[in-house]
């Protein structure tokens, strides 16, 4: 069964950093790109970035450039997303989601992790 299991909720002060993990089960880990998506309270989904399964290529949304780093560890089948210089507006649920595509014009995300709530509070 393909499954993504994320790390637990985190609370950080403004200016701090947070790392969320996403452990993959049930599929060839290096066979799929991984996306990270976040959702602020009461808001829509926001795409943050993508990492290639080899770990040697990433693409980040312009909004997060310079603050986000996505990495992976093939020995533990785990992806990581680090967000630095946190501010109150970074309070959100962060999801990892496996990329699937037909390699031409269609991409979809399946499955998703259960989400990790990151709260930025002083």
Which of residues 7, 23, 32, 47 is near other proteins by CB under 8 A?
47
Residues of this chain, 60-79, that bind other proteins according to CB under 8 A: 61-62
* Main-chain phi, psi angles of 40, to 5 degrees: -70, 160
Residue 17 neighbours by CB under 8 Å, 6+ apart: 82, 83, 84, 85, 86
The CA–CA distances, whole Å, from 63 to 25, 68, 117 equal 30, 10, 20
Residues of this chain, 76-95, that bind other proteins according to CB under 8 A: 95
Q: Is 105 in the site for other proteins (CB under 8 A)?
A: yes
Q: What is the DSSP letter of 72?
A: E
Instruction: Specify the residue, 88 or 108, whose C-beta has the smaller distance to other proteins.
Output: 108
* Binding interface with other proteins (CB under 8 A): 35, 37, 44-47, 50, 59, 61-62, 95, 97, 100, 102, 105-115
């Amino acid at each position: 069964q393909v499954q993504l299991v994320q790390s637990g909720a985190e609370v950080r002060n403004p200016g701090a950093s947070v790392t969320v993990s996403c452990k993959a089960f049930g599929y060839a880990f290096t066979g799929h790109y991984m996306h990270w998506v976040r959702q602020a309270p009461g808001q829509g989904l926001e795409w943050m970035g993508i990492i290639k399964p080899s770990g040697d290529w990433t693409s980040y949304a312009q909004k997060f450039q310079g603050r986000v780093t996505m990495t992976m560890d093939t020995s533990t089948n785990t992806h990581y997303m680090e967000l630095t210089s946190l501010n109150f507006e970074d309070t959100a649920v962060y999801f990892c989601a496996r990329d699937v595509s037909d390699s031409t014009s269609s991409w979809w995300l399946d499955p998703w992790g259960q989400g990790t709530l990151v709260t930025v509070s002083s």
